[in-house]
Structure 1
Amino acid sequence: MRVGDVERAAERIAGHARRTPVLEMSPGLFLKLETAQHSGSFKVRGGFNRALAAREAGALPEAGLIAASGGNHGLAVAYAARALGVRAEIFVPTVSSPVKVAGLRALGAEVTQTGEIYAEAYEASAKRAAATGALEVHAYDHPDVVAGQGTVGLEVLEQTGGVDTVLVAVGGGGLVAGITAAVAGRARVVAVEPELIPTLNRALAAGGPVQVEVSGVGADALGASRIGRIAYEVTSAAGVGSLLVPDEAIIEARQELWRSCRLAAEPAGAAAFAALHSGAYVPAPGERVAVIVCGANTDPATLGKRAG
């Protein structure tokens, strides 16, 4: 995965995905608001890039798009399918937020809830894709998906005039891999993971992707039980480090984003900010830091509560 792949994705999805705003929360601290993206998260970038690349190659089937998701990726694929006039079939685990499941159905997707974790929903979706011939849009481990997510990084550099560090939440790793490729040689990337879902952290320690248990407040969006192959290869080659933050820090960061900026972020969306807010990451004097606030698919009524 190289910056050229991300640049081509940016050209392809222009006019389909939004160029989301950047908020300077304090001098030198920037929030990239993927909360304002179509379908409520960065995931629509990768969904569109995968579908549009297939259409360019004459490989977008009549059966449409199929995906497994904790919720956000499914919403993105359903949104892209509706925009492109094709059908979408989405498989989600039972842990998925009711807000996200309702959103999938509102977008016209056919929804199947199966399995307790993402990996089980993915297995069911893969079998269905083989039976129907639908285009499988992997949540994080396909080059077109990763390149699409990386367009967030290109925008950060352009909109801020350059930063030293980008903090990125990690589940399966599509976003962190794409951004790492996009900002290579221009900024460093720090991965932020919930303590209860340390997919990249464990992989870096083990020398390759390993299975982890999935639980905690971020499970519905950062619920991959294994880091993606592309994400591991890209981040390990680039020397990306992983910080772990407890659920309580994620909850407090989410509440702070609401109090200070009136940003309704889901727990996964607040995870990267939690590293700063909790002191797990302390910028050096004068360091310019961008934080990706990656998702907003939550019930606003829960902003003062422990879960989203």
Structure 2
Amino acid sequence: MKVGIAGITGKFARHLGYFRNSSKLPDTLRSSLKLELIQGNAFDNDAILSFVHSCDVVVFCYLDDDKLMVDGQKLLINVCGDEPSVTWYVASDWALDYTKLELGQLFPKCPMIHIKAYIETKQDVSGVYILIVGSMEPVFSPFFNIFDPESNTFQYWGEGDEAMGGITYDDAAKFTAAVAADPNASGILKFVGGCSSIYKIAQTFEKIYGMPATVERRGSLDDLYKHMHELSSSNPQNVYIYVSLFFFYYWINDQTLIGPELVNARYSEVKPVDYEGNMYKWPREPLATSFFSLTM
């Protein structure tokens, strides 16, 4: 079986090819006899044709602006549809159940809504959609600004007991690899490693690392909703000051919860860890940078 991974130099895809820059790949991948590397960009039609040729399934792992996520992905889907060997296509990206969102609510997910609708118009390629809620590693990173590693403080919006389903990058990649090797995979497939809340995550932190943690409330979910929209309206070009707030809001407001129809058991060879298991993997000092330290 031949699996095409579009965007293999990315954090997630390297845990699972087609790529823009081979220098980003570790030597273990570049030297693998099981891996054929094809370099090109998302709009290089000849390179895409060469990449897709004789693949059984293609997994899309790009993560970039809307032009790439929509137009680039549509081009790849079209080429897959013209390649007889490609039976199905795994669309990107994985986080949150975007099928429960309306267009415009969580803007980074709009491309996924468009792509799912586009694939459903195609007669010559079937779509598979892997949904995982959120990734655990970024919870401790500066992206969400939840965890302050200097003071061991967890800051949150809401009540602090909202469910935060999550899975590690490594476990999400293992499930994706299992799905790619499953000839019967189809439709929407949902996976979760564990579910916790900010308060429970802080308690687990104390248990694992043997040091006290402080939990501080920033405001209600209504306060968060107002704040994130004020930031996006006042400075729309500075996406990084508000994108994490949008993600966090839709992660914990119950709208994008994964479940209850999980398919973990279908791929029982994968044993995902929960939040506690993830913390066991990381010493205290690099925990806040675990997201940036992800490698093969």
Q: TM-score when scaled to structure 2?
A: 0.30
| Bigger Rg, which one | 2
Higher helix share: 1
